[in-house]
Amino acid sequence: MRAVRLYAKGDLRVEDIAAPAAPQPRWVNLAVTAAGICGSDLHNFRTGQWISRSPSVPGHELIGRVTALGEGIVDLAIGDRVVADSRFWCCACAACKAGNHHLCAKLGFVGEICDGGFAEHTSLPRHLLHRLPDDLPDDAAVMAEPVAVALHAVKRLRPDPDAPVLIAGCGPIGGLAALVLAAQGHRDIRVADRNTRRTARVCAVTGAKSVALEPASVGSGIQFAIEATGSTSALSSLMDCMSAGGTIALVGIMHGRMDLDPNLLVEREVSLIGCHAFRDELPDAIALLARTGPQARQLIDRHITLAEVPQAYERLIAGDADGLKTIIRP
């Protein structure tokens, strides 16, 4: 079968490899029908930060059809459509026992701990798979995992329904956070991003307003914000836009460290909240996409083949995208 494999920092190859063998007990073989390229995939390619095995097949945003079932599985059938949970947790640490799998002491991710979805076929544990509604199209369903991340960030932020929400970064998570907020009834959503084409599309779909990340453009009274750029300089600019007593949910994967004067947090009582992946929001994401599928599909940048993945990485790292998601169709 064809697959994309990451060997080392900056070393991504499209190759022919063996298809998965018969699944082990409680594992499921899938024919991958769609997979999304995530910002963390690009980060790992650029930095090698999370390479724990080489080579590995990336791709933790994936859906597929069941092709084989390991021993002990009675609640799935051949042909079922499923979406994968991206997280690979230990089940034994204190965080896992409390249901906080995203905070697992040994947390890994599909595409790192085990091969992911940038391939024609893959094999995953049964407990990571959620059945999809028959009427949810593949190109909407494949966004369930990043929508779950956006849902978790919004849930952690807890914005007042009538208050403005500022989103720094209109990439996949920032743009999908705007979609989540709009679906929840928020009407004053402000997004800031240097990519004007992508921002315009998100605003057209969600009703958000495009602003520059500076106080004069953003306006006063910003109590709730989401940092989704991964840029320390953008976070610094975002701090300048916050009103006293405000809260920033950090969901972007940062490059570098920030020189932050903690007195700004103390004197203005600004809260920074970390948001790592998601907790239990994946079923809610599937349900939200069942309602907002047409809007979500308008946010897709393009569909590509496995052979086009290396070029897509180059394009996305350069910031060349009109939409939020590049979808691989193996």
CATH number at residue 226: 3.40.50.720
Confidence of residue 262 (pLDDT cuts 50, 70, 90): confident
Count the neighbouring beta carbons within 10 Å of the beta carbon of residue 7: 14
* 292 found inside a domain: no
The two beta strands, 165-168 and 189-192, are parallel
What's the CA gap between 256 and 266, in Å, rounded? 23
Confidence of residue 256 (pLDDT cuts 50, 70, 90): confident
31 and 57 co-located in one domain: yes
- Residue 264, CB-side half-sphere exposure with 13 Å CA sphere: 15
CATH number at residue 77: 3.90.180.10
Q: What is the pLDDT of residues 80-113, one digit of tens each?
A: 999 999 999 998 999 999 999 999 999 999 999 9
In terms of phi and psi (left: phi > 0; alpha: psi -120 to 50; beta: otherwise), the region of 173 is alpha
Beta-bridged to residue 123, according to DSSP, are 29
64 and 99 co-located in one domain: yes
What's the CA gap between 130 and 247, in Å, rounded? 33
The lowest-confidence range among 23-37, 55-69, 116-130, 248-262 is 248-262
- Give Cα 13 distance to the centre of its chain: 23
Count the neighbouring beta carbons within 10 Å of the beta carbon of residue 251: 27
37's CB contacts (< 8 A; 6+ apart) are 59, 61, 309, 312, 313, 316, 325, 326, 328
Question: The whole model's pTM is what?
Answer: 0.95
Average pLDDT taken over every residue of the chain = 95
Report whether 167 contacts 203 (CB < 8 A). no
* 132 found inside a domain: yes
Give the DSSP H or E segment for 289: helix 282-298
135 and 198 co-located in one domain: no
6 and 136 co-located in one domain: yes
Domain total in the chain: 2
pLDDT higher than 90, residue 257: no
Longest dimension (CA), the chain: 61
What's the CA gap between 130 and 81, in Å, rounded? 8
SS3 143: coil
157 and 120 co-located in one domain: no
Report whether 320 contacts 164 (CB < 8 A). no
233 and 263 co-located in one domain: yes
Q: Which domain holds residue 161?
A: 149-274
136 and 266 co-located in one domain: no
Name residue 254's amino acid: M
14 and 127 co-located in one domain: yes
Report whether 160 contacts 134 (CB < 8 A). no
Strand extents, DSSP E, the chain: 2-8, 11-16, 27-36, 61-69, 81-84, 87-88, 108-109, 121-125, 129-131, 165-168, 189-192, 209-210, 224-227, 247-250, 271-274, 300-304, 325-328
260 and 303 co-located in one domain: no
118 and 167 co-located in one domain: no
Confidence of residue 58 (pLDDT cuts 50, 70, 90): very high
